[in-house]
Amino acid sequence: MTKRNNIKRQNLIEFTFLMVIIVLLNIISSYLSLRWDLTAEKRFTLNNSTKKILSNVDDMIYLKVYLDGEMPPGFKRLQNSLKEMLDEFRIYAKDNLQYEFINLDKIKDKKEKEKIYKQLYQEGLDPVNVYNKDDKGANTQQILFPGAIMSFKNKELPINFLDQSIDKTPEENLNNSVQDLEFNLINTLHKLQTSHAKTIAFIEGHGEWPADDVADLMITLSQDYVIKRVTINKQLKALDTYDAIVIAHPDSIFNKYDLFIIDQYIMKGGKVLWVVDGTSATMDSLSFRNTTMAMDRVDNNNIGKMLFHYGVRVNANLIQDLQCAYIPINVAIAGTPPKFEPRPWLYSPLTVPVNSSPISRNLNLIKGDFTSSIDTVGDDPNIKKTILITTSKYTRLVNAPVQVDLAIVDQKPDANLFSLSYVPVAAMVEGKFRSFFEFHLEPEFEKNKLIHFIKESKPTKMIVVGDADMIRNQTRKVNGKTVPYPLGFDRYSGQTYGNKNFFLNAINFLLDDDGLMDTRSREIKLRMLDKTYINKHYSRIQTLNLVLPLIILAIFGILYFFLTQRKFKTKTKQ
pLDDT in tens, 220-237: 999 889 999 999 999 999
- Whether 370 is in a domain gets the answer yes
Does the pLDDT value for residue 164 go beyond 60?
Answer: yes
CA angle at 89 for the pair 84 and 95, rounded to the nearest 5°: 115
Same domain, 205 and 260: yes
Same domain, 162 and 277: no
Backbone dihedral region of 479: left (phi > 0), alpha (psi from -120 to 50 degrees) or beta? left
Same domain, 181 and 254: no
Same domain, 458 and 484: yes
Q: For 15-37, how does the pLDDT look when each residue is reduced to its tens digit (9 = 90+)?
A: 677 778 877 777 776 555 555 55
Quickly state the pLDDT bin for 38 (edges 50, 70, 90). very low
- Whether 520 is in a domain gets the answer no
User: How much is the average pLDDT of 378-399?
Assistant: 94
Quickly state the pLDDT bin for 461 (edges 50, 70, 90). very high
- Whether 138 is in a domain gets the answer yes
Last residue of a domain, one of 175, 192, 209: 192
Cβ proximity of 318 and 403 under 8 Å: no
Last residue of a domain, one of 510, 537, 566: 510
- Whether 182 is in a domain gets the answer yes
Quickly state the pLDDT bin for 183 (edges 50, 70, 90). confident
Same domain, 106 and 237: no
* CA distances from residue 230 to 255, 304, 364 in whole angstroms, order as listed: 16, 21, 31
Cβ proximity of 533 and 190 under 8 Å: no
Least confident piece of the model among 175-189, 251-265, 311-325, 360-374:
175-189
Q: What is the pTM of this model?
A: 0.77
Provide the pLDDT for residue 4.
Answer: 60
Provide the pLDDT for residue 32.
Answer: 52
Higher pLDDT among residues 516 and 177, named by residue? 177
What is the DSSP code string of 313-326?
EE-SEEEEESSEEE
User: How much is the average pLDDT of 167-193?
Assistant: 84
Does the pLDDT value for residue 345 go beyond 90?
Answer: yes
Provide the pLDDT for residue 372.
Answer: 97
Q: Which domain holds residue 20?
A: 1-32
Provide the pLDDT for residue 443.
Answer: 83
Overall domain count for the chain = 4
How many CA atoms are closer than 13 Å to the CA of 547, on its beta-carbon side?
A: 6
Does the pLDDT value for residue 530 go beyond 60?
Answer: no
Same domain, 245 and 264: yes
Same domain, 539 and 487: no
- Whether 519 is in a domain gets the answer no
Beta bridge partners of 200: 227, 244
471 burial class (0-12, 13-18, 19+ CB within 10 angstroms)?
A: buried
Last residue of a domain, one of 457, 483, 510: 510
Same domain, 406 and 543: no
Does the pLDDT value for residue 415 go beyond 60?
Answer: yes
From 200, 386, 373, select the one nearest 276 (Cα to Cα): 373
**DSSP run (H or E) holding 549:** helix 538-573
Same domain, 379 and 488: yes
Q: For 97-152, how does the pLDDT look when each residue is reduced to its tens digit (9 = 90+)?
A: 999 999 988 888 888 989 999 999 999 898 988 876 665 556 677 888 999 999 99
Give the C-alpha separation, 15 to 12, whole Å. 5
Least confident piece of the model among 258-267, 339-348, 365-374, 429-438:
339-348
- Whether 407 is in a domain gets the answer yes
CB atoms within 10 A of CB 573: 7
Same domain, 182 and 210: no
Provide the pLDDT for residue 573.
Answer: 55
Same domain, 369 and 478: yes
C-alpha dihedral, 236 to 237 to 239 to 240, nearest 10°? 140
Higher pLDDT among residues 376 and 289, named by residue? 376
- CATH number of residue 67's parent domain: 3.40.30
CA angle at 131 for the pair 126 and 135, rounded to the nearest 5°: 130
Does the pLDDT value for residue 272 go beyond 60?
Answer: yes
- Residue-wise burial string across 228-259, b where 16 or more C-beta atoms lie within 10 A, e elsewhere: eebebeeeeebbeebbbbbbbbbbeebeebbb
Cβ proximity of 499 and 485 under 8 Å: no
- Whether 365 is in a domain gets the answer yes
Based on its alpha-carbon atoms, the radius of gyration of the chain, rounded to whole angstroms, reads 31
Provide the pLDDT for residue 431.
Answer: 96
Same domain, 236 and 311: yes
- CATH number of residue 419's parent domain: 3.40.50
- Whether 113 is in a domain gets the answer yes
